[in-house]
Copies of this chain bind each other. A is one copy, B any other.
Amino acid sequence: MGQSITFHKADQLKAKPDAGQLGFGKYFTDYMFEMDYSAEEGWHDPRIVPYGPISLDPAATIFHYGQEVFEGLKAYRTEDGRILLFRPDKNMERMNQSCARLNIPEIDEKFVIKAIKKLVAVEKDWIPSQSGQSLYIRPFIIGTDPALGVHPSNTYKLLIILSPVGSYFGNSIHPVKIYVEDEFVRAVKGGVGYAKTSGNYAASLKAQTKSEELGFDQVLWLDGVEHKYIEEVGSMNIFFKIEDEVWTPALNGSILPGVTRNSVIGLLKHWGITVKEKKISVRKLFKKAEKQKLLEVFGTGTAAVISPVGFLKWEDKVIKVGNGEIGELSQKLYDTLTGIQTGKSEDQLGWTQEVKIEKEEVKEKAVDKAEEKAEKKPAVTE
């Protein structure tokens, strides 16, 4: 898709939030990316426009039949002022896998990465730079046909919005408490569990609320068939350090194939540590814990990076993992990953992509630049 991205200038820019108050997903930048799909034109009219409400027919597919996919990745600010994306190609590959499952037309992965880079470049002043902070990038696609009746939409909208974020679970990497859910099910083989689509999260809300009522941070899901095998956490994949091996549930069609999961496996193997992707029964895991063989537990995800798990509850059994602090391997993975993401450590595996700011943009603020351009001609091509 050799299309050019037009730019529509905002009349007014927002005040940026206090860097200490970011939280997750509460603030959004001045601009968003938008692109439309129709059967006749394919994906067309890519544009960067002021962040603002979208207007849809109340009969639109998204409101009734949930035809939607999304992604989540981050832009990081390095100490020497560069901007890095972490494996955006993996997110776009997964987005297309989700699209295939949800009957949504394929996107041009390279073009959407280009769009992400352009939007991030425009919004570069929104990338927070304190430790643990980043600019969260949320591309999503929704079906927009104004018609009832269960069938795939003929028209779609792809949007990308940006949110400056701090840490997902609060301010420090304190271990989280998770709870093995044995009643509610998130996904099952043959369903949409491996796709990043809204329905999976809708199905998870009830158990998430229940876990919070019980005093836990997150739910650990079991498989939907036998309610025996460990799948993943709310928005993280899960890893167990058992003696000198690391285990994680194998991808089986109902687990989201996390980019962080894939990266952690890559790093561990690179370090010569045995990683086993396998079916892990919760019973077996608790047996290992009883025998003091379960040394570390951690979740992995773009939002949470590496999140140590301090407590695990299943039925009436509770495991306290380690001494309630982050384990040695978890810490090493956290440091290495965030090191690569923020340009502090060498990127031996070629995982980062730099967002290049055009020459003039280096001298001036992106926003001033945007204003200039917009004054010269109403729509600027890249």
Measured between beta carbons, the chain B residues less than 8 angstroms from A199 are: 66, 192, 197-200, 202-203
In the assembled complex, the Cα of A163 lies from the Cα of B62 at a distance in Å of 18
In the assembled complex, the Cα of A293 lies from the Cα of B202 at a distance in Å of 42
In the assembled complex, the Cα of A55 lies from the Cα of B149 at a distance in Å of 22
Please determine whether A206 and B63 come into contact, CB atoms closer than 8 angstroms: no
**Residues of A bordering B, CB below 8 Å:** 24-26, 28, 32, 51-59, 62-68, 70, 101-103, 136, 138, 140, 142, 146-152, 159, 161, 163, 168, 183-192, 197-206, 208-209, 224-225, 227, 234-235, 303
Q: A188-B185, A188-B191, A235-B150 are in contact. Are A62 and B63 (CB under 8 A)?
A: yes
In the assembled complex, the Cα of A146 lies from the Cα of B161 at a distance in Å of 12
In the assembled complex, the Cα of A25 lies from the Cα of B152 at a distance in Å of 14
Measured between beta carbons, the chain B residues less than 8 angstroms from A62 are: 62-63, 198
- A27 closest partner in B (C-beta): B147
Residue of A140, A150, A152, A163 with highest tally of chain B CB at under 10 A? A150
Please determine whether A67 and B205 come into contact, CB atoms closer than 8 angstroms: yes
Please determine whether A102 and B70 come into contact, CB atoms closer than 8 angstroms: no
Q: A66-B199, A161-B58 are in contact. Are A208 and B150 (CB under 8 A)?
A: yes
In the assembled complex, the Cα of A186 lies from the Cα of B68 at a distance in Å of 16
In the assembled complex, the Cα of A188 lies from the Cα of B142 at a distance in Å of 25
4 further A-B pairs in the complex, CB-CB below 8 A; given A25-B148, A224-B224: A28-B146, A64-B138, A66-B68, A190-B227
Please determine whether A190 and B183 come into contact, CB atoms closer than 8 angstroms: yes
Please determine whether A234 and B150 come into contact, CB atoms closer than 8 angstroms: yes
Please determine whether B190 and A184 come into contact, CB atoms closer than 8 angstroms: yes
Contact of A102 among B68, B101, B205, B224 (CB under 8 A): B205
Q: A63-B140, A161-B59, A198-B65 are in contact. Are A102 and B149 (CB under 8 A)?
A: no
In the assembled complex, the Cα of A313 lies from the Cα of B146 at a distance in Å of 33
- A153 closest partner in B (C-beta): B205
In the assembled complex, the Cα of A58 lies from the Cα of B54 at a distance in Å of 6
Please determine whether A148 and B152 come into contact, CB atoms closer than 8 angstroms: no
Please determine whether B202 and A102 come into contact, CB atoms closer than 8 angstroms: yes
Measured between beta carbons, the chain B residues less than 8 angstroms from A54 are: 55-56, 58
Contact of A64 among B53, B70, B191 (CB under 8 A): B70
In the assembled complex, the Cα of A191 lies from the Cα of B231 at a distance in Å of 15
Measured between beta carbons, the chain B residues less than 8 angstroms from A163 are: 59, 148
Measured between beta carbons, the chain B residues less than 8 angstroms from A136 are: 148
In the assembled complex, the Cα of A325 lies from the Cα of B134 at a distance in Å of 63
Q: 19 A-B pairs, CB-CB below 8 angstroms?
A: A25-B149, A51-B58, A54-B56, A58-B161, A64-B198, A65-B202, A66-B201, A102-B205, A103-B206, A103-B209, A150-B235, A152-B209, A185-B188, A188-B191, A188-B224, A189-B224, A198-B202, A199-B199, A199-B203
